[in-house]
Structure 1
Amino acid sequence: MLEIRGLDASYGDSQVLRGIDLDVAAGEIVTLIGRNGAGKSTTLKSIMGDIPRRSGSIKFRGEEVIGLSSERICKLGMGYVPEDRGMFSTLTVLENLTIAPPQGDGAWPLARIFSLFPVLEERAHQKASALSGGEQQMLSIARPLYMGSSFLLLDEPTEGLAPVIIDAIGRVVGELKSAGLTVLLVEQNLPFATSLADRHNLLENGRIVRTMSNDEVIQEESQLLAHLGV
């Protein structure tokens, strides 16, 4: 579903990604793991077209997208949930959900979204700024579902959340996989990642140095945690 070859990306004169090769098949959850500054978030932004200086190839459903705008990539079915969650704090939950129109037959109706996220229905007419961190994260995941995304880029969805909320986010992501969605996940929380993912990619200095099965990461978790400095 996603095929990346030789992806380079830079901020000004600083090169961050160096020849990234990455594949994600339909229905998979695949992670990017690595130390802070390794290039994980930059990889997601590059896929979405948010980094202007890129080269290489990014194919989504067989179509080359590296030259497309973020808006066009989104319309192809790619949804991006940034680390900062991207809420419009002065808008209500419902307004945040519906600010962008649905695209295609895969868009989730509000009834289905509220079934997965009942707290969003309860708080539909409250300002997004009044939500807890976990509730904001659920809203940020729900928005691309309303728009019709079938492939989600999730950037550190558990960061700063309490364990009980992390468990809830994990159940949501698991249900999305069961519903047929595909996920590329940036995550420092290895137990969370291994509870969901099929494969893991270790980034160092802008390069993927190793691709591991879920079993391999579980077996080497203590060494990887030490390496990641977690």
Structure 2
Amino acid sequence: MLEIRNLDAYYGESHILQSVGLSVDAGEVVTLVGRNGAGKTTLLKSIIGDIPRRTGSIRFGSSEIIDLSPERICRMGVGFAPEDRGIFSTLNVHENLTIGRPNKTTGWPLERIYQHFPILKARRLQKAASLSGGEKQMLAIARPLYMGASFLLLDEPTEGLAPVVVDAIGAIINDIKSTGLTILLVEQNLQFAAEVTDRYYMIENGKIVKELTNLQMADEEQSLLDYLGV
């Protein structure tokens, strides 16, 4: 579904991503791990077209998307839940969900959203600013589904959340994965990632240095935790 080859990305004169290559098959959850500043978020933003200076190839389905605008990429089915969640604090849950124009063919209707995220139904008239951290994260994940995303980019969805909420987010990711959606996940919590992930890529100084299966990750978990400093 997604194939990246020889991707370089820059912030000004800073060369952040260097010849990055990875792939995500339809229906997979693939996790990107690495230290802070390694280039994880830059990679996600490169996929959605939010990094202006990029070279190489990013193919989504049968289409080359590296030269497309973020709006075009979104309309093709790529959804992004950023690390800061990106919700509008002065709007209520319903308004946050419906502020964009959904794809009528692939977008989840509100009834389906509320079936998978019942807490959002209960909070639908509540201002987003008053939601808990976990509820804000659920809203950040639900919004691209309403818009029609078939491929989700999730940036640190468990950061700052209590363990019981992390478990709930994991259940939601597995739930939406079971519907056929594909996910590229940035996550430092390896224990959480192991519950949802099919494969891993490790990024270091803007380069992909290792690809790991779940079994390999289990064997190397402690050394990776030491490396990540978590």
Give the structure-1-normalised TM-score: 0.99
RMSD: 0.6
For each residue in 1:178-224, what CA deviation from the matched residue of structure 2 results, as whole angstroms up to 9, or x when unmatched? 00000000000001111111100000000000000011101211111
- The aligned counterpart of 2:54 is 54
CA distance in 2, matches of 1:116, 1:168: 11
Question: For 2:73, what is the secondary structure of its paired residue?
Answer: helix
- The aligned counterpart of 2:112 is 112
- The aligned counterpart of 1:3 is 3
- Distance apart, 1:101 and its partner CA: 1.5
Structure 1's consecutive aligned runs of 4 or more residues displaced over 6 angstroms after TM superposition are: none
For each residue in 1:142-190, what CA deviation from the matched residue of structure 2 results, as whole angstroms up to 9, or x when unmatched? 0001011010000000000000000000000001110000000000000
- Distance apart, 1:114 and its partner CA: 0.5
- The aligned counterpart of 2:69 is 69
Matched, 1:138 2:106: no
- The aligned counterpart of 1:96 is 96
CA distance in 1, matches of 2:104, 2:217: 37
User: Where in structure 2 are there 5+ consecutive unaligned residues?
Assistant: none
**Aligned partner letter, 1:103:** N
- The aligned counterpart of 2:83 is 83
Count of residues in correspondence between the two structures: 230
CA distance in 2, matches of 1:30, 1:143: 21
CA distance in 1, matches of 2:220, 2:139: 34
- The aligned counterpart of 1:205 is 205
CA distance in 1, matches of 2:103, 2:117: 21
User: Where in structure 1 are there 5+ consecutive unaligned residues?
Assistant: none
- The aligned counterpart of 1:45 is 45
CA distance in 1, matches of 2:175, 2:219: 25
Give the structure-2-normalised TM-score: 0.99
What is the correspondence of 1:147-158 to structure 2 with a 5 Å cutoff?
Answer: 147-158=147-158
**Aligned partner letter, 1:119:** I
**Aligned partner letter, 1:40:** K
CA distance in 1, matches of 2:102, 2:49: 20
**Aligned-residue identity in percent:** 63
What is the correspondence of 1:186-201 to structure 2 with a 5 Å cutoff?
Answer: 186-201=186-201
Stretch deviating more after TM superposition (98-107 or 17-26): 98-107
**Aligned partner letter, 1:216:** Q
